[in-house]
């Protein structure tokens, strides 16, 4: 199954450039991007701040509607302390690592200019894995353990803004990543990074 998924992703990656080149250069077929991810896990108390990376891909089904899928892996914990003379912030690799996968529609306005605002509503899951392995292999182990691990159903309402110069742009998104464990758990999620239209 993993080999099939790898071949499907590679095949899609090889077909996208030729498909995009054959289209008129309007850059309204879809987007692909990477982002830095911040998630404020509200439970337990006090809240825990996580930092990570992610990626998303979306295809426009209408000039104002896109279907998007995204995945984020938060591997670092942020500690911020406010003092009278300033703010101190530091990052530490943590054994608890949230992995989020979401899919859903994005409704966008301003499709003809360089700026767009959008709202989105996505469904998916959040997997909380505990690992003493601090290597890059921990991500692969967590992907393989989604069905066995602490996986929770998630709902994500959010919105943001995109700014493009031709096919290259930046995207800022803010939302509430709600997962269900003994009731709904609301968590602030912010992502920011480059995006490419095709």
Please name the CATH architecture into which domain 2-197 falls.
Answer: Beta Barrel (2.40)
- The strand pair at 48-62 and 168-176 is best described as unpaired
Contacts of 17 by beta carbon, 8 Å cutoff, 6+ apart: none
Q: Give this prediction's pTM.
A: 0.74
Handedness of CA 148, 150, 155, 160 (dihedral sign): negative
pLDDT in tens, the chain (198 residues): 556 555 555 555 555 555 444 444 566 789 999 999 999 888 767 778 888 899 999 999 998 999 999 999 988 776 666 667 767 665 666 667 888 999 999 999 876 778 999 999 999 999 887 665 554 555 455 555 555 568 899 999 999 999 999 899 999 999 999 999 888 999 999 999 999 998
Q: What is the pLDDT of residue 9?
A: 55
Report pLDDT for 32.
97
């Amino acid at each position: 199954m993993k080999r099939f998924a790898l071949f499907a992703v590679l095949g899609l990656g090889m077909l996208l450039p030729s498909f995009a080149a054959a289209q008129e250069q309007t850059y309204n077929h879809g987007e692909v991007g990477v982002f830095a991810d911040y998630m404020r896990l509200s439970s337990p108390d006090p809240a825990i701040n996580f930092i990570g990376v992610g990626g998303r891909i979306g295809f426009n089904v209408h000039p104002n509607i896109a279907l998007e899928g995204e995945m984020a892996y938060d591997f670092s914990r942020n500690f911020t302390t406010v003092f009278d003379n300033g703010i101190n912030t530091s990052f530490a690799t943590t054994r608890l690592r949230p992995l989020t996968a979401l899919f859903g529609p994005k409704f966008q306005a301003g499709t003809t200019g360089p700026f767009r605002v959008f709202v989105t509503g996505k469904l998916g899951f959040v997997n909380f894995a505990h690992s003493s392995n601090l290597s890059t292999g921990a991500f692969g182990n967590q992907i393989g353990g989604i069905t066995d691990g602490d996986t929770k159903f998630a709902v994500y309402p959010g919105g943001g803004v995109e700014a493009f110069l031709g096919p290259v742009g930046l995207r800022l998104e803010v939302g509430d990543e709600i997962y269900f464990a003994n009731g709904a758990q609301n968590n602030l999620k912010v992502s920011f990074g480059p995006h490419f239209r095709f």
